Amino acid sequence: MARILVLDDVLDAVILIEKILTRKGHDIQTFTAEEDAIKHAESNRIDLAILDIKLKKMSGIQVLEQLKKLQPKMKAIMLTGYPTIESAQEAIELGAKEYCVKPIDKQELEEKVAEVLAR
């Protein structure tokens, strides 16, 4: 079981990810606001962060940068509805293990999470 932080500005998206990954036995913490997610990471261990790139105030890349400072060993999967080469390159440089394009298939999500956690 892994501790997974999910951050997306669309509430339905975080609920879905929570549902899918809970069934896989993971401990899921969902957020739609960036500052809440960062605050949570300050006092709780996180194994994996699933971050949407487009958020309300910050970008997922900026959140990833801050989370990495708090928890360097934390793994991350970036999600985006509008993939660009620049955002993908930056995410990888900041330590994101996967870069997935929405709408991601349920099975694909399960596999990617398993794969990243296994690394």
Please select the residue that binds another protein; options are 31, 37, 52, 99, rule is CB under 8 A. 52
Q: Note whether 88 binds another protein by CB under 8 A.
A: no
Q: Supply 13's token pair.
A: 């998206």
DSSP label at residue 42: H
Q: Which stretch of DSSP H or E encloses residue 51?
A: strand 48-52
The contact mask relative to another protein for 90-119 (x = CB under 8 A, - = no) is -----------xxxxxxx-x----------
CA 96 – CA 63 distance, rounded (Å)? 12
Taking CB under 8 A as the criterion, the residue among 15, 33, 70, 117 binding another protein is: 15
**73/64 Cα distance (integer angstroms):** 12
Q: Between residues 68 and 102, which has the closer beta carbon with respect to another protein?
A: 102
Interacting positions 60-79 with another protein (CB under 8 A) = 79
**Whole-number Å distance between alpha carbons of 83 and 37:** 23
Residues that bind another protein in the complex, under the rule CB under 8 A:
8-10, 12-13, 15-17, 19-20, 23, 52, 54, 79-83, 101-107, 109
